[in-house]
Amino acid sequence: MTDAPRPDEPRDQAPPVEERRPDEPQTYAAAGYPAPPAPVGQQPPEQQTPWWSRPAGETWETPAYAAAPPADTERTVWSTPEDFQDTLGSGPRRRRSRAGLLVVAAVVLALLAGGTGGAVGYLLAGRNDGSVTIDGASLGAAPARNVQRPDGSIAGVAAKVLPSVVQIKVETSNGAATGSGFVIDENGFLVTNNHVVAGAQGRVQVVFSDGKNSTAQVVGTSPGYDLAVLKVNATNLAALPLGNSDSVVVGDPVIAIGSPLGLSGTVTSGIISAKNRPVTAGERGSSDNAYINALQTDAAINPGNSGGPLVDLDGAVIGVNSAIATVGSSVLGSEGGNIGVGFAIPINQARRTVEQLINKGEAQFPIIGASLDGSYQGPGAKIATQATNGTPPLVRGGPADKAGMQPGDVITKIDGTAVQDSSELIVAIRSHRPGETVSLTVERNGDERQVRVTLAATKG
């Protein structure tokens, strides 16, 4: 079979082709080609030439010619008044058009592309550097990536903090539960929320980021601040530095790390959405409610994040993730999903409580020595007018009693900041230390007065 000449080959040696009209006979020998078979019906069946043995010149329009025919030569085009016999004598076919060839070429290319893609995918599956090796040559090898990230980036902070964050597993009366915690001392002290371990029945299990497990001892808990300290038998742990939550401003970027929904080592990021947000976490009416003057963040926090650290871009802990707001629930900290409203205990408050738990096994929080009326619907916090559960409205000799306050007084401000209800007043008081003095604005029978109260302490 004679190969058709390529477009880049010289054609000046090819025999000249005589121009003619379609109805004129052509001397094929003059064109340098053997004569084609006779038209169908004029050639005996035994002499019909199958398509695969036809001369190369009988390829009416080759892709090479159609793409770029040589400028100095002519192209031989077979043309007869009648149609040639189709493949294997299956019927007549008309002269192929350029469009038809292009469609065929496009289909072939598409099939080739699919086959090539599968082959490349197969080769890539066996390599981990993104390269393909053909005949010993590596093609498209991906350059080695530098996995190091700047210290101030989220990835850099996460890499530094993750080894110090743990998953906490407990067995409760309702089944297994998980929470989070973090290392604050190289000798095995960990911080978490009180509500993570309060219902534990039996051992508290701690899982480190490298997969190692350890049984933890509960050193102490503070339901009033929703904090707990655990101790594991380990040394040379990577402790996280504690930051300064008082210096945080709204808009500061923050990162939350923990085990939401049991997914350990989860990193989310956001900003500080608000400060000094009064939060009451726990079941309404429970004696174990926590009153937190919280940092609010839009970093994703879900059940299981409780007790994990909220850190700044230096990797310093500025809060302990503790509660979330849920749609359709007035109780913060109840089960629900992230809606971008999460709360953390400021680390300056947590530091004081953790020190007390480690040094004394118990914590204290400040009080004014007065019972508040939970049914009061007006602005401010009202001192009860009668005993509640056997407790008088004012503790005799307590801070409020010494300051001259009376049952029925309504406290509208603390240190010049308005309070809307009793929960806000308790949160504001617990943001102070026992022994500190605060200024209260009190209304009595339509009159307003200022009183100064030195805070007492109680366990919790």
Catalytic residue among 164, 180, 222, 226: 226
Q: Which amino acid is located at 74 in the chain? A: E
β-strand partners of 202? none
H/E/C letters for each residue in the chain?
CCCCCCCCCCCCCCCCCCCCCCCCCCCHHHHCCCCCCCCCCCCCHHHCCCHHHCCHHHCCCCHHHHHCCCCCCCCCCCCCCCCEECHHHCCEECCCCHHHHHHHHHHHHHHHHHHHHHHHHHHHHCCCCCCEEECCEEECCCCCCCCCCCCCCHHHHHHHHHHHEEEEEEEECCEEEEEEEEECCCCCEEEECHHHHCCCCCCEEEECCCCCEEEEEEEEEECCCCEEEEEECCCCCCCCCECCHHHCCCCCEEEEEECHHHCCCEEEEEEEEEEEEEEEECCCCCCCCEEEEEEEECCCCCCCCCCCEEECCCCCEEEEEEEECCCCCCCECCCCCCCCCEEEEEHHHHHHHHHHHHHHCCCEEEECCECECCCCCCCCEEECCCCECCECCECCCCHHHHCCCCCCCEEEEECCEECCCHHHHHHHHHCCCCCCEEEEEEEECCEEEEEEEECEEEEC
Q: How far is CA 153 from the centre of its chain?
A: 15
List the one residue out of 453, 440, 147, 158 whose CA is nearest residue 312: 158
Catalytic residue among 180, 222, 273, 306: 306
Catalytic: 226? yes
β-strand partners of 195? none
Catalytic residue among 195, 409, 422, 431: 195
Catalytic: 375? no
Catalytic: 86? no
Cα–Cα dist 275/87, whole Å: 84
Six token digits for residue 10: 């010289």
Six token digits for residue 443: 């209304």
The residues that are catalytic are 195, 226, 306
